[in-house]
Each structure stands twice: as structure tokens, then as C-alpha cells.
Amino acid sequence: MNTLLKVVLPLTAVLALACSSGVTDPGELATREAKLAAAAATALSRLPTPTAIAFPAPTATPLPTATPAPTATPRPIATPDPSAPTARDAQSIAIGSPPGDWSGTQPISQSLRFISISPLPDGKALLVGGKDSDGNPSAGVEIYDSRTGEWKPAADLAFGRYLHTATTLDNGDVLITGGWGADFAAFRSTLRYDLAADLWIQPEPMSMIRVAHKAVKLRDGAILVAGGWLTNPLASTEIYDPDADEWRSVEDMNVARFDHSLTLLPDGRVLAVGGEGIGDERLVSAEIFDPAIGEWTEVAGLSQARFEHTAGLMPDGRVIVVGGWEVEYLSSAEIFDPETGEWTQAAPLVEARSRHQGLQLPNSYFYVTGGIGDDGLIRGSEAYDWQTDSWVPAGELRQARFSHKITMMDNGDLVAVGGFTESGLTRSAEVLTVGPQ
């Protein structure tokens, strides 16, 4: 089997190999990887074959005893955003033309995957960590300035990490949580980047070590972290208060999961969808977290199990879930209506894809770009028009890529960076000017 596929596809194979006690033979994962290898072999055959990597079983490191989470009064739920359009208003929004082709910009300093990239004020973006071409975690930090098209170094991390989360706080700081470090040491530590001082601050750590978890900013500015991986998928959930610099544990999810999606709903609740669960199960389940009471409630599930998908809140208040992987690359899309609690089928993607990137453009399309599918790496982008339930062509990346990251800056520009291209792991970056909506 192609050695590179053993390294990069799928994410669950990497995590299982890293975390399983006593599993040192990559051949034990062959059955699982074969499902992806057959689909991707055509495009990836051109990639250079790296030296086989022997993944050691992780050595357990004793953790300091966690301080019990203080009992706290749940934060009141935020009221719906009065400036957000209603479902009826959304039907009259002129969404304009879909985005076009990407253009090149200065590359980052090294080839990376599993990075984070977060919007900063003034048309900038913060890139943190990642995994380099030698399989080592990166401690590098860079800032992209859309006005100059340049990346500039920022204060490095004390320790490299990847498969972490990064969330921009209300004051412009960026909160980093969890992830893998060197020698498969996983973190429960958190870091907070102060842009004005170009300085990393170490806040209170999470109560749990987490890898491949998800985070979302709540309406009151707090950060919800849910799920992830620690030898097995996690159901635990906790909330960070950036004003008090403290974490509090809340009720676990009903289903342990990682590689899921978290989407903030208009009323301040959070929708968790899909992912991978216990026993390598791809999940159809969905549940909603209510920060007013600190509890999760199961809702109707997807019609198609999926993980490594994308999701976004559309202008009419519904959530679209797109693509991903189950036993094949998925083209299907489903839409959740928070008012009815029901899912409906949406028009499918033109190209089935996983490990793509997707985001909701303000008052406009849900935009999907890149990824890997049945015919290999994907250059093309698609945009979903919720008013007509249709996907329209939306330009192409300069390089087909997957396991990359994109973000939208406050000036409307998108920046895409890193991941795998047909030439291997890349340091290239691209930009797309969407403009104000």
C-alpha cells in the first residue's frame, strides 16, 4: 500500500495508530486504509514516496491533578441577534455572484498540515502550529496581512502542536486549545495570543486532554469546547470564560465524537453533528447544547453518517452540512431547521469530497473549496444558493489541495494555506477577494 496514504489518510487511522496501546504494526490498519487508498490512488500516485514512518506507541505521562471545576451559575442564553435577517427576509437578500478564482500570494515559511488559521482585525490572519513534512509538530506562528500580501513571523509557541483549535475572542485575542505535541504527547493546556504585545499567555488549562476536538464562540463571548480524542472519542464538554480566565465543565454530549462539526444557532444554542464515535462508528447523530442550562439534547439525526464534513449557518437560520466521508466520499448535503428540529435533503455537490474546507459567506453562499474525492485532489469550488437549492461553480484554486485551511478576514478576503497538493505537502498560500456582502 502507498506509504503516503498510511501517513495522511484517513485522520482516524493516524489517531488510532498513535493512541492504541501496543499497536506498532501499520499492517493492522490496512483494511481500514484500503477504503481510502482505492479512491485516491490515481491522483496521489504522483506524490513522492516518503520514508516509512514507524509510529511508536505513546508513553503515558502523568498529569497533574486537576483542580475540581468550581460550581458556577450557568450564563444566561443570548437572545437572537436582532440584526440577523429572518427566514422571510433572507429570501429577498441579493446574494450577488459566487466567488471566482484564487490568486497566489507569498507562501508560508514551511510546508504544513493540521494548522489553525484565525481572523484578526484589520484584514489579517494568524497561522499557528501544524505538522511539517518530517512529521514533527511546528511551534511556528505567522501573521498574514492582506494589504501587503505578506506573511510575517510572530512569537513562537513554547511547544509545537497540531490538531488543536483556535478561536478569535471578542477582544481580538486568539485562544488555542489542546492538540498533539512531540512524541504524541497530547495537551490539555491552552494558550492565548495577545496581538498588540505579540505575546503568548498561558491561561488555565482544560480539564481534559483533547485532540481533533471542536470549539465555537458563544454569543456571550465564552468558548465552548466539545468532544475530541483521548485513546477513545470523548463526550466531555467545557466552557472557557475569557474574562474570568477559567474553565467550567458542563454536561457531557450524549454521544462521544471527534471530527464532528459545531455550529452556533441564531438563538445562542450550538448544534453538534456527525463525526466518528466509539468503535470507529461514523455517526448520524446530532444534538443541541443550550448554554442557559448547560445541557445537551439529542435531535433528529442525519440520513447519512459522515465525518470530516463541513457545516455552516445560512442567512435564513438553517444549518447546512456538506460532504465528508463514510464508506465513500460524499456529495450529499443536508439542512437542519432549528425551528422544526428536522432535516431535509439539499441538492448534492457536483463533486463528492472530504477534507475540503467550507464556510458561510455573510448574507450569501455557503462556499466549499478543495478536498479529495473519487478522482483524487480537487481544485474546483462550489457555492450553495439556499434560495434556489442549487450549487453553482465558484472558481478554482491555483493548486488542488486537501487537509488545507481557509479563513475569512474582516475585510472579506479569504486566505487558503498548506495541506497536500499533487506535489506533496505544501507551503503555498492563495487569496480570494469576495468583497463586502
CB-based contact 103:432 (threshold 8 Å): yes
- The residues, any chain, with a CB within 8 Å of residue 87's CB and separated by 6 or more, are 316, 317, 318
Q: What is the structure's pLDDT at 82?
A: 52
The mean per-residue pLDDT over the stretch 336-363 comes to 97
pLDDT over 70 for what percent of the chain? 78
Most confidently modeled of 9-23, 29-43, 52-66, 234-248? 234-248
pLDDT tens-digit map of 107-142: 999 999 999 999 999 999 999 999 999 999 999 999
pLDDT tens-digit map of 215-224: 999 999 999 9
Three-state DSSP state, 35: helix
Residue from 87, 176, 172, 106 nearest 145 by CA? 106
- The residues, any chain, with a CB within 8 Å of residue 309's CB and separated by 6 or more, are 261, 273, 274, 321, 322, 323, 324, 325, 330, 354
- The residues, any chain, with a CB within 8 Å of residue 414's CB and separated by 6 or more, are 99, 359, 406, 407, 408, 431, 432, 433, 434
Q: What is the structure's pLDDT at 48?
A: 37
pLDDT-derived band at 96 (thresholds 50, 70, 90) equals confident
CB-based contact 211:189 (threshold 8 Å): no
pLDDT-derived band at 435 (thresholds 50, 70, 90) equals low
pLDDT over 90 for what percent of the chain? 76
Q: What is the structure's pLDDT at 210?
A: 97
Q: What is the structure's pLDDT at 30?
A: 39
413-417 sheet: strands from edge to edge:
103-105, 429-433, 413-417, 405-408
pLDDT tens-digit map of 137-161: 999 999 999 999 999 999 999 999 9
pLDDT tens-digit map of 355-403: 999 999 999 999 999 999 999 999 999 999 999 999 999 999 999 999 9
Question: For residues 101 and 84, what is the distance between their CA atoms, to the nearest angstrom?
Answer: 29
Task: Give the number of other Cβ atoms within 10 Å of residue 312's Cβ.
Answer: 20
Q: What is the structure's pLDDT at 90?
A: 63
Q: How many residues belong to the chain?
A: 437
Residue type, 323: G
Please give the helix or strand (H or E) that residue 12 lies within, else none: helix 11-19
Beta strand pairing call for 366-369 and 372-373: unpaired
Q: What is the structure's pLDDT at 218?
A: 98
427 or 89, which is more confident: 427
The mean per-residue pLDDT over the stretch 280-304 comes to 97
Homologous superfamily of the 87-433 domain (CATH)? Kelch-type beta propeller (2.120.10.80)
User: What does the domain layout of the chain look like in residue ranges?
Assistant: 3-44, 87-433
Residue from 220, 332, 219 nearest 266 by CA? 219
pLDDT at 271 over 90: yes
Q: What is the structure's pLDDT at 95?
A: 81
Question: For residues 393 and 383, what is the distance between their CA atoms, to the nearest angstrom?
Answer: 6
CA–centroid distance for 418 within its chain:
14
Q: What is the structure's pLDDT at 207?
A: 96
pLDDT-derived band at 43 (thresholds 50, 70, 90) equals very low
pLDDT-derived band at 93 (thresholds 50, 70, 90) equals confident
Which of 192-223 are b and which e, b meaning 16 or more Cβ less than 10 Å from the residue's Cβ?
Answer: bbebeeeebeebebbbbbbbbbbbbbbbeebb
Q: What is the structure's pLDDT at 11?
A: 40
Residue 68, classified by CB atoms within 10 Å of its CB into exposed (0-12), middle (13-18) or buried (19+), is exposed
pLDDT at 349 over 50: yes
Q: What is the structure's pLDDT at 77?
A: 42
The mean per-residue pLDDT over the stretch 404-417 comes to 95
Output the nine-digit C-alpha cell for 189. Answer: 493546556
- Average pLDDT for the chain: 84
